[in-house]
Structure 1
Amino acid sequence: MPELRRVLVFAKRTSYDRYIRQQGVPRVKELLARGDVTVARMVRADEHHHRTVEEVQRALEAVGARVTLRYRDRLEAFDAFDLVVTVGGDGTLLWASHGVGDTPMLGVNSAPHDSVGFLCGTRMGEVLPHIEAIAKGTAPRVKLARMQVSVEGEVVHRRVLNDVLFANPHPAHTSRYLLSFRGMLEEQKSSGLWISTGAGSTAAIRSAGGRLLSLRSRLLQFVVREPYTPDGAPYSLPRGLVHPGERLEIFNKMRECRLYVDGPRISLPVELGQRVTFCTSDEPLTVMGVSTRAVSERQRHTTVDGEDVSDAGDDVRPAGSGSGSGSGSRRSPLPSR
Structure 2
Amino acid sequence: MARRRVLLLLKPLDVYPPRPSMLPSSSASSSSFPSSLNPKIISYLNSRCKVHKDTIRFCQDVLQSKYVEWEPVTRDNLCRPIRHVDLVITIGGDGTLLRASHFLDDSIPVLGVNSDPTQVEEVNELSDTFDATRSTGYLCAATAKNFEQVLDDVLEGRKQPSELARISIHVNGNLFPTYALNDILVAHPCPATVSRFSFRIEDDRTSSSLVSSRSSGLRISTAAGSTAAILSAGGIPMPISSQDLQYMVREPISPRVAEVPLLQGFVKPEQVMLIDWYTQEGVIYVDGCHVTRPLQYGNKVEVSAKAPILKVYLPREFSRDCSVTYHQPQSEL
TM interval, shorter chain, is 0.7 to 0.9
| Letter in structure 2 aligned against 1:258 | V
Match of 2:127 in 1: none
- 2:186 aligned residue: 166
Instruction: State the 1:185 CA deviation.
Output: 1.0
Change (3 A) 1:265 1:273: same
Alignment of 1:83 onto 2:108: no
**Which whole-Å CA distance do the structure 2 matches of 1:118 and 1:302 have between them?**
20
Decide whether the 8 Å contact of 1:140 with 1:290 is kept in 2.
no
- Is contact 1:252–1:274 with CA below 8 Å preserved after alignment? yes
Question: Could you say which residue in structure 2 is the equivalent of 1:105?
Answer: 110
Superposition pairs of residues 61-210 of structure 1, within 5 angstroms: 61-75=64-78, 76-101=80-105, 102-113=107-118, 114-182=134-202, 183=207, 184-210=209-235
Measured in 1, the distance between the counterparts of 2:35 and 2:144 equals: 24
Shift of 1:99: 0.6
Matching of residues 1-337 of structure 1 within 5 Å: 5-15=4-14, 19=18, 30=33, 34-35=37-38, 41-75=44-78, 76-101=80-105, 102-113=107-118, 114-182=134-202, 183=207, 184-229=209-254, 234-291=259-316, 293-296=317-320, 298-299=321-322, 301-304=324-327, 314-316=328-330
CA distance in 2, matches of 1:234, 1:299: 32
* Cα distance in 1 between the residues matched to 2:319 and 2:174: 34
* Separation (CA, whole Å) in 2 of partners of 1:257 and 1:236: 25
TM-superposed deviation, 1:238: 0.8
Give CA deviations for 1:96-139 in whole Å, capped at 9, x if unaligned: 11111111100000010101111001012221111111111112
Gaps of 5+ in 2: 119-133
**Range that drifts further, 87-96 or 59-68:** 59-68
Q: Is the 8 A contact 1:12 1:72 kept in 2?
A: yes
Q: Which segments of structure 1 move beyond 6 Å, counting only runs of 4 or more?
A: 24-29, 230-233
Aligned to 2:125: none
Opposite residue 304 of structure 2, the aligned amino acid is: C
Secondary structure class of the residue paired with 2:176: strand
**Deviates most, 130-139 or 226-235:** 226-235
**Cα distance in 1 between the residues matched to 2:226 and 2:196:** 24
Q: Distance in 2 between matches of 1:10 and 1:33?
A: 37
How far does residue 41 in structure 1 lie from its aligned partner after superposition?
2.8
Q: Shift of residue 260 of structure 1?
A: 0.4
Q: Secondary structure at the match of 1:181?
A: strand
Normalising to structure 2: TM-score of the pair? 0.83
In 1: Cα distance, 2:109 partner to 2:277 partner: 36
* Letter of the 1:44 counterpart: S
* Whole-Å separation in 2 of the counterparts to 1:179 and 1:25: 54
Deviation of 1:19 after TM superposition, in Å, equals 4.0
CA distance in 2, matches of 1:36, 1:148: 46
* Change beyond 3 A, Cα 1:4–1:42: farther
- Partner SS for 1:315: coil
* Cα pair distance change 1:290/1:34, threshold 3 Å: closer
**How many angstroms apart in 2 are the aligned matches of 1:52 and 1:15?**
16
Which piece of structure 1 moves more, 266-275 or 173-182? 173-182
3-state secondary structure, aligned to 2:154: helix
Shift of 1:221: 1.1
Amino acid at match of 1:82: D
* Residue 171 of structure 1: how far off its partner (Å): 1.4
* Residue pair 2:248, 2:263 contacting (<8 A) in 1 also: yes
Distance in 2, Cα, partners of 1:133 & 1:32 = 49
Go from structure 1 to structure 2 and tell me whether the alpha carbon gap of 1:239 and 1:4 turns closer, same or farther (over 3 Å shift).
Answer: farther
Identity of aligned residues (%): 32
